[in-house]
Amino acid sequence: MALKATIFKAELVVSDLDRGHFATHALTIARHPSETDERMMVRVLAFAMNADERLEFGRGLSSEGEADLVLTDLTGAIDLWIDVGLPDEREIRKACGRAKRVAVFVYGTGAEIWWRQNGEALSRQTNLDVFSLPPEITRACAKLAARNMKLQVTLQEGHLWLSSGEESLAIEPASWHAATR
């Protein structure tokens, strides 16, 4: 018998001062049985950094060739494709062909090795953003994971502040590659 996803609920209050996006998002997050709290929380951070009424969690780990998060326009065309972790370089190039913009959020101890192996090929993608999150930050985010979460995120000038109850984290994702806009 296959294991089922664990459902998490999050009330995510986003104050994005750079984009002028101020909203509360009621998120339902299906965590795949093989997914860690750390990876799930990176998906939540990626959502917060790109928050939009049409941004949705994809099937991610449970379906190969699909985004972890996706933003589509009213015609179904993909405006934004988001992957987290250390995705295959070929899959990212495919996503760059399918979406107007692609964002990858890399994390973990193997992130720098992954970038050294894939950075040259990926740097040719003009619609790709690659962000790196430090391992100590993503591990701290994992400790905030709960079946029911109330999270507040403030974004300003590339800085992100995440809080949950009494806990607060200052996060500065490193931009390893920026799309040419």
Q: What is the dihedral of CA 157, 137, 180, 54, to 10 degrees?
A: -80
Q: Which helix (H) or strand (E) holds 50?
A: none
Residue 60 pLDDT greater than 90, yes or no: no
Residue with tokens 């990626």: 46
Residue 58 pLDDT greater than 90, yes or no: no
Q: What percent of the chain has pLDDT over 90?
A: 88
Residue 62 pLDDT greater than 60, yes or no: no
Q: Where are the domains of the chain?
A: 6-177
Closest C-alpha to 28, from 36, 40, 38, 18: 40
* Helical ranges in the chain per DSSP H: 37-49, 89-98, 111-122, 135-142
**Per-residue pLDDT tens digits for 109-145:** 999 999 999 999 999 999 999 999 999 999 999 999 9
Assign 59 a pLDDT band (cuts: 50, 70, 90): confident
Q: Tell me how far apart the 2 most distant CA atoms of the chain are, in Å.
A: 47
Give the β-pairing of 167-171 and 174-177. Answer: unpaired
Please provide the CATH number assigned to the domain covering 6-177.
Answer: 3.10.640.10
Residue 61 pLDDT greater than 80, yes or no: no
Residue 2 pLDDT greater than 90, yes or no: no
**Per-residue pLDDT tens digits for 63-100:** 677 899 999 999 999 999 999 999 999 999 999 999 99
